[in-house]
Chains A and B, each alone.
Chain A
């Protein structure tokens, strides 16, 4: 299943909205968007994942990659991830550096 990625700026937040499946095939699209988002220089990057039904380990790698791309003071938020996706993030321990929130 393909992934659709959209990018917008709302105030001081760069919003990336993902819909579909985040795996080894689709992660490169997300990487490109992250690089663009990092260039915006906002203080928060919000990744809306309510529409992501499945995230493979390649998707986890994208989140680590996102952290590396943005400046140190930038907060990365993952918003609205369904339970299996947020569990994948928590199991790997990425919730220690990425903010997980319901909305």
Chain B
């Protein structure tokens, strides 16, 4: 492989024969291009070279433009300007920092000059690579700091009420995520708030909105009073009972939606979320599903999972919209499985999705424990994704009420005494 690559500029005047002879005798690869090729041609097709050989008659600024493009491609070549008699034009190039060659074009002189230029070009490339690496490391470090700070917006530990199990799986697709989950006590510890949310889009933008939305939801819910509320169920009719925890729930979601639509509508970020409030004593759950994939209530008897359908739009899209409350009951042996779209939309290398059907198949039968449900789905997601790039954040939360926790009489069946 030649030690030097030289681009010979195909412009008038052509290099004199002695210069050509000298170039041919040295260990160099010679390529020929016109100035317009270098200035306007496809970047991918620009040659990688150490030296750009230019007649003094060429326009200095055009040569600089060409060099800038070559620099972006693979490092700048050293410009060597030659002339036989055009010394005024040569002077102009030298002012621009270009190197030069003048007669006699003896092979040893030309060779030595071009080799030294080639070394300078190599040094420039090395510096440029070092700069690029340093810059990349800087970005990666910043992103790592971002990831650590974002981790601080997830709960450090989960307050699990006695007689319940909570299992969470959180696998972001990138260093920073748009998904989040949260579990915290409200109404002076009498209720448990469970949130799973997905901020639209990915990357740093989604991560910033994640921090905002999580904080608004949690802060509002924690600071809402203990008032009882005559909460109207979606179906109306029978379930109009006062529900502790419904006020913080409604306040949190409506206030967050109001804040986002008042202050951030132009940015177009929003979140789909499931926000449930559990009474750990009775297992009753009141919730808002704001445009989120319906969580699935897996029954202890293995009957078909019950989807907790949407009760309002995604949060941050529509000003002044109404969120209604949904109700569910978790009996011993039941599991509530909440997840984000990264689960059914996990893609295999061929591009096909895991899909809702497959998820329902995997969830068929009575849930053994929340951990078992999360593990089973997570394994399926990872096996399905295989070698493909993880497309989206994956978040799962299972809220399980074990059978044994409330004693043998928990389901009202009581002891059977065998004589």
Q: B324 CB to closest chain A CB, in angstroms?
A: 12
- Contact, CB under 8 Å: B293 / A58: no
State how many angstroms separate the Cβ of A34 from the closest Cβ of chain B: 10
Q: Are A91 and B270 also in contact (CB < 8 A) when A60-B200, A61-B200, A96-B318 are?
A: no
Give bound CA distance, A94 to B315, whole Å: 11
The reply to whether B201 and A27 contact each other, CB–CB distance below 8 Å, is: yes
Instruction: Determine whether the beta carbon of A93 is less than 8 Å from that of B268.
Output: no
Q: Choose among B269, B312, B345, B391 the residue that contacts A93 (Cβ–Cβ < 8 A).
A: B312
B203 touches A24 (CB 8 A): yes
Kindly state the separation between the CA atoms of A58 and B202 in the bound complex, as whole angstroms.
7
- B314 touches which one: A1, A24, A68, A92 (CB < 8 A)? A92
CB distance from A81 to the nearest CB of B (A): 16
**How far apart sit A16 and B392, CA to CA, in the bound complex (Å)?**
26
The residue in chain B whose Cβ has the minimal distance to the Cβ of A94 is B317
Question: How many residues on B have C-beta within 8 angstroms of the other chain's C-beta atoms?
Answer: 30
Contact present for A92 and B201 (CB under 8 Å):
no
CB <8 Å contact, B318 and A58? no
Cβ of A56 under 8 Å from chain B: yes
- Is B292 part of the binding interface, using a Cβ–Cβ cutoff of 8 Å? yes
Decide if B30 is an interface residue (CB 8 Å cutoff): no
B260-274 residues with Cβ-Cβ distance < 8 A to A are: 265-266, 268-270, 272
**B146 an interface residue at 8 Å Cβ cutoff?**
no
In the bound complex, residues from chain A placing their C-beta under 8 Å from that of B343 are none
Query: Is B291 in the interface zone, CB < 8 Å from A?
Result: yes
Are the CB atoms of B200 and A94 closer together than 8 Å?
Answer: no
- Interface mask (B372-393 → A, CB under 8 Å = 1, otherwise 0): 0000000000000000000110
Q: Inside 8 A of A57's CB, which chain B residues have their CB? A: 178, 198-201, 272, 341, 392
Of residues A57, A94, A97, which shows the largest number of chain B Cβ atoms within 10 Å of its Cβ?
Answer: A57
Could you mark each residue 53-92 of chain A with 1 if its beta carbon is under 8 Å from any beta carbon of chain B, else 0? Answer: 0101110111011001000000000000000000000011
Contacts A91-B310, A92-B313, A93-B291 aside, 11 further interface pairs with beta carbons under 8 A come to: A23-B391, A54-B345, A57-B199, A57-B272, A58-B201, A91-B293, A92-B272, A92-B291, A92-B314, A93-B312, A93-B314
